[in-house]
Amino acid sequence: AQKVTQAQTEISVVEKEDVTLDCVYETRDTTYYLFWYKQPPSGELVFLIRRNSFDEQNEISGRYSWNFQKSTSSFNFTITASQVVDSAVYFCALSEAGRDDKIIFGKGTRLHILP
C-alpha cells in the first residue's frame, strides 16, 4: 500500500537558518511520482515540485532543494537561508502510475520561521 510519512509535525527555526523537511514514502510500484506542496496561511496549496521515480538527480530551485534517495525511500526538502515568508505547512505526496488516479498526501509539516 502507498503511504507518505512526514514525521516532523512542527519545526521552528530562526530566519536565515537552513531547514530540512523529511518525507519517507512506501510503495510497491517501480514507477511513481513524488510531489511537494506549500500551504501558506491563506490556505491554497502551491505546487513546488514533481519528481518521477526514475530521476534520482537532486534538484535545486533558488533557495529550495530536494534530495531524492530511492535506497531510503526518502524525498527530503531543504530551504536554505530561510525567510519569514517560508512559514507555511509543507506537504509531501506520492502517486503510483496507473493506480486509481490518486495522490496520497502526508500529514504535513508546519514550518515557523522566526524573525
Partner 1 sequence: DGGITQSPKYLFRKEGQNVTLSCEQNLNHDAMYWYRQDPGQGLRLIYYSQIVNDFQKGDIAEGYSVSREKKESFPLTVTSAQKNPTAFYLCASSGGTGTDTQYFGPGTRLTVL
User: Taking a C-beta distance cutoff of 8 angstroms, is the pair 51, 115 a contact?
Assistant: no
| Number of residues lying near partner 1 (CB under 8 A) | 26
Write down the least CB distance from residue 93 to partner 1, Å: 8
Interface region with partner 1, contact rule CB under 8 A, candidates 14-22, 66-74, 80-88, 91-99: 91-99
| Using rule CB under 8 A, residue 99 touches partner 1 | yes
**Residue 32 CB coordination number (10 Å):** 19
Radius of gyration of the chain (CA): 14
Q: Please name the residue that has the C-alpha cell 529550495.
A: 64
Q: Tell me how far apart the alpha carbons of residues 49 and 72 are, in angstroms, rounded to a whole number.
A: 19
Distance of CA 20 to the CA centre of its chain: 10
Q: Tell me how far apart the alpha carbons of residues 65 and 88 are, in angstroms, rounded to a whole number.
A: 17
Write down the least CB distance from residue 18 to partner 1, Å: 25
Query: Binding marks (x or -) toward partner 1, 48..77, rule CB under 8 A?
Result: --x-x-------------------------
Residue with smaller CB distance to partner 1, 52 or 69: 52
The residues of the shown chain that bind partner 1, judged by CB under 8 A, are: 9, 32-33, 35, 37, 42-47, 50, 52, 91, 95-97, 99-103, 105-108
